[in-house]
Amino acid sequence: MNWIDKQRNIVDFALSSLLRRWRKNLALLCVYTFVVFIVASVVFFAEALKREATLVLEGAPDVVVQRLIAGRHDLISRGHMEKLERITGVSDVKGRLWAYYFEPSVGANYTLVVTEEAAGRPGTVAIGAGVSRTLQAGQGDLIAFRGHDGAYVSLEVARVFPSSSELVSADLVEISEEDFRALFGLPEGIYTDLTLRVRNPKETVVVADKIRRLLPDTRPILREEVLRTYEALFDWRGGIVLAIFAGAALAFIIFAWDKATSLTLEERREIGILKAVGWETSEVIVMKSWEGIVISLTAFLLGLVLAYVHVFFTSGTLFEPVLKGWAVLYPRFQPVPFIDPYQVATLFFLTVVPYTVATVIPSWGAATIDPDTIMRQ
Amino acid sequence: MSLIVLNGITKIFNRGRPDEFTALSDVSLEIEPRGLAVFKGPSGSGKTTLLSIVGCMAKPSAGRVLVKGREVTSLPDRFLTDIRRHTFGFIFQQLHLVRGISALENVILPAYPSGERLASLRERGVRLLDLLGLSHRADTNVEWLSGGEAQRVAIARALINEPAIVIADEPTAHLDTKLSLDFMAAMERLKAEGKTILFASHDPLVYESAMVDRVLEMRDGRIVAERRAS
Amino acid sequence: MRLRKSSAFIVFTLINVTGLALLFAHGALERQRQAPVLSEKKIMVERFGLTDLCLFTDARYTRNPAVADRSTPFQDNPLSLDYFPSGSILPPPPHLRAHELDR
């Protein structure tokens, strides 16, 4: 009880100290909160996306086999499929038909994908919400696609994929095989790439090896590799994230430097008075630490709250222009709150400890001098 | 037994540098409990330095200081602070109140680290201010107080930890005659309570006052004369 | 009775901590709520045989980074700048960086 009361008394004085220079401290708090807000927003956003990718892309094919000719991605034929079917442990070899389609009128890129279900509805397409937005086309509207021969083919929109699935489907156009082959002039037996299933998941690397040896002009891509691609998303080594973090670190360093290299005359005087009226050096240090903790803890909590609201309630609106870049079509999605507690803890330590230390260090010198010196000023 | 004993105290500032300056030179004296002693002398005579050494605010360059029979000269900061907190109450010439907080907060500030509950601290502080006729200004920020009021806040602050010895450096320097007399009256009350009081002053109103028991004259860092009241 | 500064700070901090706790609780609830939506997306991925999230539609290798090959970026105009910021947010996949066996 005594210790708590002592701390509360000291905190009272620390708060008095801060309030005395309230304008400066308020500015400091605002900047610091903003820095925490930006960093936490990036961390939350990245983590949420990564986790979602990991969960959702579990549905990706076990192995995708791509053909590369003269350094370019080329189409693959049934012959290759038959060879793959003979590999032990491989099942369900399917040809995948998909293509990129550039719509010049709006400058957007779409991805056309063929599915078995679409075969039952020739002449129609199912489109993603992003496609619908850019073309301003809804259910029942017609979209004209330009074929390989320059002729336009009109297809009716059968349905629009729900908005909740935009993260995977925003730019998709689901089309029947018939329409796809007609549009791109692809004969039967030719596919964009192949997918296959491996019966024993532990065998995938072995199977990939076999594929490479069996079909030297192909490249197998495993689902694990697909998932790892997204672990690198928002990697701090990536230019933009590095720039943001560096900016935040710089802002913090500038402020901490300002604190660390100068005790105002007033602050010096106060420390002298405290020593003179009987405060121990350690108690003065504790008081200064509380000054640092009050600001950094508040900045941390406020910054975190704001970041959470920003990312998970407003879908990270501040990041949208950054993420959109040159793309015309950008998915609208609400990240699902996946939060890594280690990241939060790290952020906490990075926010509170260095700042508190920066506040205490200059005071250390002043707190250890004889109080007699103050009498001479 | 003497309350405070100073033995061969010398204080040199900026030793080894071109602006080296000897403030005190081989000063020895004993201060008995109770009573009011005044150190008189021109500025530069070493009064302030002597008081700060007596009050354990500074360490001497040479010599020994004993408080209540216990040597304090070589004590580490922690213990020295403890002694300073509980034995001495210091009233500075420039008062050195903390700006931006109220009179009451200034008064109880020295007692914060003791862990005493704030409510009880405030109560004691208000009582002290009341004794000095200032309870109505308890919550006023010290910048708004007049010179005399600030002076009284400084006195109250010196008394919050119930010290045995009260030390005041040029207490009447910024006070007019009336306030100076009020101050001396307050000191008389403290003396009556059994406290030991030490002043440094070159104000005749102080050192020629009837309540002074002992006047020590200082010049050039030494005690050159002493007069005791009969 | 006046409010002590330290009490005010404690209260303020507790409010913030509570707010944060509530948000995290909201997060947990939201995760549960979104679980079926995530399942749906996964089913969609299976159905279409997708390998990537639709995040960056500005180039082939930003739209499908998982199946991008090294030469695709070269097929852009030699004067064209790296797609920004997608290029700096999504680095080349590890399997491209680590090895491209004897190719």
By C-alpha distance, which of A55, A224, A116 is closest to C39? A55
Q: Which two tokens stand for residue C22?
A: 């509530």
Nearest of A207, A195, A3, A48 to residue C27 by alpha carbon? A48
Rounded CA-CA distance B76/B71 in Å is 12
Query: How many whole angstroms separate alpha carbon A228 and alpha carbon C90?
Result: 12
Distances in Å between the alpha carbon of C97 and those of A185, A330, C92?
Answer: 35, 27, 7
Q: Is the pLDDT of residue A202 over 90?
A: no
Statement to judge: residues C38 and C79 lie in one domain: no
Nearest CA in chain C to A194: C49
* Residue C5 maps to a domain: yes
Instruction: Read off the pLDDT band of C81 (50, 70, 90).
Output: low
Q: How far is CA C56 from CA A169, A243, B130, in A?
A: 12, 20, 74
pLDDT at C102: 44
Banded pLDDT at A236 (limits 50, 70, 90): low
**Pairing assessment for the beta strands B165-169 and A218-222 based on DSSP bridges:** unpaired
Residues of chain B with Cβ-Cβ distance to A20 below 8 Å are: 99-101
Domain of residue C45, residue span: 1-50
- Strand B21-31 and strand B4-13: the pairing is antiparallel
Q: Are residues C5 and C41 in the same domain?
A: yes
Gap between the Cα atoms of B32 and B34, Å rounded: 6
Q: Does domain B4-102+164-228 have CATH number 2.40.30.10?
A: no
Instruction: For residue A302, give the amino acid letter.
Output: L
pTM listed for this prediction = 0.85
> Is C40 in the same domain as C65?
no
Domain shared by C91 and C68, yes or no: yes
pLDDT at A309 over 90: yes
CB contact at 8 A, B96 and A374: yes
Report residue B98 CA to chain centroid gap: 17
Residues C3 and C42 in one domain: yes
Of the two residues A259 and B192, the one the predictor is more confident about is B192
- pLDDT tens by residue, A285-305: 999 999 999 999 999 999 999
Please check whether residues C42 and C16 belong to one and the same domain. Answer: yes
Q: Is the preceding peptide bond at C85 cis, omega within 30 degrees of 0?
A: yes
Radius of gyration of chain C (CA): 24
- Which of A276, A20, A370 has the alpha carbon at shortest distance from B93? A276
Provide the pLDDT confidence category of residue A320 given band limits of 50, 70 and 90. Answer: confident
- If one counts the domains in chain C, the total is 2
- pLDDT, mean of residues A87-99: 89
Pairing of strands A72-74, B62-67: unpaired
Q: Where are the alpha helices (DSSP H) in B60-211?
A: 77-87, 103-108, 118-131, 147-159, 177-192, 204-207
Please indicate, yes or no, if residue C94 is contained in any of the structural domains: yes
Section A322-340 average pLDDT: 85
User: What phi-psi label fits residue B4: left (phi over 0), alpha (psi between -120 and 50 degrees) or beta?
Assistant: beta
Average of per-residue pLDDT across A317-332? 82
Are C75 and C33 contained in the same domain?
A: no
Question: If you ran DSSP here, which 8-state letter would residue B174 be given?
Answer: T
Locate B181 and state its tokens: 């007399």
Residue C103 maps to a domain: no
Quick check: A112 and A101 in contact, CB under 8 A?
yes
Q: In this complex, do A375 and B81 lie within 8 Å of one another by their Cβ atoms?
A: no
Give the confidence band of A114 by pLDDT, cuts at 50, 70, 90: very high
Q: If you measure CA to CA, which chain A residue comes closest to B51?
A: A372
Whether residue C36 is predicted with pLDDT greater than 50 in this model: the reply is yes
Instruction: Identify residue B1 by its one-letter amino acid code.
Output: M
**pLDDT for position A348:** 92
First to last CA, chain C: 80
Whether residue B219 lies within 8 A of chain A, CB to CB, comes out as: no
Residue in B with minimal Cα distance to A12: B112
Give the tens place of pLDDT for each residue, B100-119.
889 999 999 999 988 888 88
The residues spanned by each domain of chain A are 2-57+233-375, 61-221
Residue type, B177: T
- Pair C66, C46 in one domain: no
Residue A181: pLDDT over 70: yes
The predicted-structure confidence for B24-39, as pLDDT tens digits, reads as follows 999 999 998 888 999 9
Mean pLDDT of the region C2-30? 91
Alpha carbon distance B155, B147 (integer Å):
12
CB contact under 8 A, C88 and A240: yes
Q: Report the range of poorest mean pLDDT among A5-9, B39-43, C63-67.
A: C63-67
Q: Where are the alpha helices (DSSP H) in chain C?
A: 5-48, 60-63, 86-89, 94-98
Please indicate whether, in this complex, the C-beta atoms of C23 and A309 are within 8 angstroms of each other: yes
- Rounded-to-integer distance, Cα C18 and Cα C5, Å: 20
Indicate which of C33, C47, C89 best probes the interface with A, i.e. most A CBs within 10 Å of its own CB: C89
Q: Are residues C34 and C64 in the same domain?
A: no
Q: What is the Cα–Cα distance from A175 to A161, expressed in whole angstroms?
A: 13
Per-residue pLDDT at B71 exceeds 50: yes
